[in-house]
Structure 1
Amino acid sequence: MSAGTVEIRRSGSTAVLTLRREAKLNALSTHLERELLRALDDKAVTTSRAVVLTGGDRVFSAGADTGELREMTPEAITAYYRDSGAVYEKVAGLPQPTVSAVAGYCLGGGLELALATDFRVADATAVFGLPEVGIGILPSSGGTYRTVRAVGPARARELVLRGRRLSADQALAWGLVTEVCEPGAHLEQALRVAGELAALPPLAIAVTKRVIDAAADTPRESTLLLEQLAYASLNQAARPATEDPT
């Protein structure tokens, strides 16, 4: 199945979304972002138990199509974040577990998209970086926020302010990616991870994802309360129905 620049297919209970703008190194144009938004609402995705996002065998994404944004007024940029620019938070908010399968360049907006997923599997060819400050802007699709959460403020400054590029092994050592595999094995390994997650109770996955996200920015007492309320809710949902004794 294809949605233009985004290919949609199922692998068992996992939905696989592949960016298909190879001639432009999967640069994230507003058109591609809208296609990805539409793909996320496709039945093959909404009925899946896990989602894998990839750019193919050569490149994940070399970044946003900055030429488009350069021409925008401040008003148009504000509108952009409500339109196609909302795709990054849409990915981050999916109830299913999400895995990025990364080969080659994963730069700028491409890294922001990968950071919006729960897990990042990189093959040995992957290169990660956030070059935005060097051209006078900054990562603005959750990239600054999620980079700090992933690697801490000091290393985030290396990536965001200095524009440092990381190899797959360096990204693993920094905590930016979940695991590294042999060249060309990223999709297979991402599907393996997704398959393990898809076998888990979907409600428990969805609720626990939300609690983990909240825990990073919530005081201890509030996080403990969230855990306890979530546990009570999940425990009730998991309880088997019993017959009416009367």
Structure 2
Amino acid sequence: MIDRPLKRNALSTHMESELQRAIQSGDVSSSRAVVITGAGGCFSAGADTTELREMTPSAIASYYRESGGVYEQIANLRQPVIVAITGYCLGGGLELALAADTRVADEDAVFGFPEIGIGILPSSGGVTRAIRCVGAGRARDLVLRGRRFGAVEAERWGILNELTKRGETVTRALQIASELAELDPLALEHTKQVLMASEESSLQASLLLERLAYAALNRT
């Protein structure tokens, strides 16, 4: 759980380091599925940009190798990752959500990439995953204009997998996690890897990955 309610769960380097520790813990390693949500009725209002404002290019490169790498670490977890979104899901919060496999949000959730308004861009996978999720044209509109949009739009564009009523989002995310936890973990891991790799593969390469994964799983 992202728990920094006084800052609307802004993702500081400390919070990112805590997320890293959490996903590297024994509890996560032994789990069949992972659910991430935010405390206080807010998923995350974005990255804590005040920390990064004075960083040199060298320091920023170091940041992405360290706590800033948590977004890719979450994307690459072997287990399915579900995010339960309430309230604001902006900037770095939306980048974190896009790194997950399944996104569930309440009907009042608010989304957006506001970075352009302060002279930066989504740089923790936001641009890349937005293009893959909603297409280049829609991604250009969302990132360049930096406008906010609601949960209904997010579901229609494919950013969200499910909408829930207020107060039901975490319960629904846990239900999905329980369903996934009943499935074979090795099949889930291999299938997740094939799905991720296929996004960037040719048709022939993607078909080959499917067949190799099937052969590896067939006798398990």
Name the residue aligned to 1:184: 167
Which residue is equivalent to 1:221?
A: 204
Q: 2:121 maps to which residue?
A: 138
Deviations 1:8-30 (A, max 9, x none): xxxxxxxxxx1110000000000
- Aligned CA distance change for structure 1 residues 209 and 177 (closer, same or farther; 3 Å): same
Aligned to 2:155: 172
Scaled by the length of structure 2, the TM-score of the pair is 0.98
Deviation (angstroms), 1:134: 1.7
Deviation at 1:57, TM superposition (A): 4.6
- Which of 83, 90, 97 is equivalent to 2:80? 97
Deviation of 1:198 after TM superposition, in Å, equals: 1.1
Give the C-alpha shift of residue 164 in structure 1: 2.1
1:113 corresponds in structure 2 to 96
Letter in 2 for 1:120: R
Report if the CA contact (8 A) 1:97-1:198 is conserved: no
Corresponding residue for residue 61 of structure 2 = 78
After TM superposition, list the pairs within 5 Å mapping 1:189-228 onto structure 2.
189-228=172-211
For each residue in 1:204-231, what CA deviation from the matched residue of structure 2 results, as whole angstroms up to 9, or x when unmatched?
1001111011111100001111111110
Q: Which has the larger radius of gyration?
A: 1
Distance in 2 (CA, whole Å) between partners of 1:71 and 1:233 is 49
Specify the code of the residue in structure 1 equivalent to 2:27: A
Spell out the pairing of 1:9-88 with structure 2 (5 A cutoff): 18-88=1-71
Give yes or no for contact 2:4–2:39 (8 Å, CA) kept in 1: no
Choose the corresponding residue for 1:126, options 109, 117, 130.
109
- Report the count of equivalent residues: 220
Alignment of 1:223-238 (within 5 A): 223-236=206-219, 238=220
Larger relative helix fraction:
2
**In 2: Cα distance, 1:138 partner to 1:154 partner:** 17
| SS of 1:166 mapped into structure 2 | strand
- One-letter amino acid matched to 2:167: G
- Structure 2: unaligned runs, 5 residues or longer: none
Aligned 8 A contact 1:108 1:130 in 2:
yes
The structural deviation recorded for 1:56 is 2.7
TM-score normalised per structure 1: 0.88
Conserved? CA contact 1:52–1:191, under 8 Å: yes
What is the identity percentage for the equivalent residue pairs of Structure 1 and Structure 2?
58
After the TM superposition, list the runs of 4 or more consecutive aligned residues in structure 1 that deviate by more than 3 angstroms: none
Look up the SS of the partner of 2:122 in the other structure. Answer: coil
Structure 2 counterpart SS, 1:125: coil
Greater strand percent: which structure? 1
> What secondary structure, in the 3-state scheme, does the structure 2 residue paired with 1:61 have?
coil
What is the CA–CA distance in structure 1 between the aligned matches of 2:61 and 2:136, rounded to whole Å? Answer: 27
In the alignment, is the contact (CA less than 8 A) between 2:34 and 2:81 conserved in 1? yes
Alignment root-mean-square deviation, CA: 0.8
Give the structure 1 partner of residue 136 of structure 2. 153
AA aligned to 2:165 is E
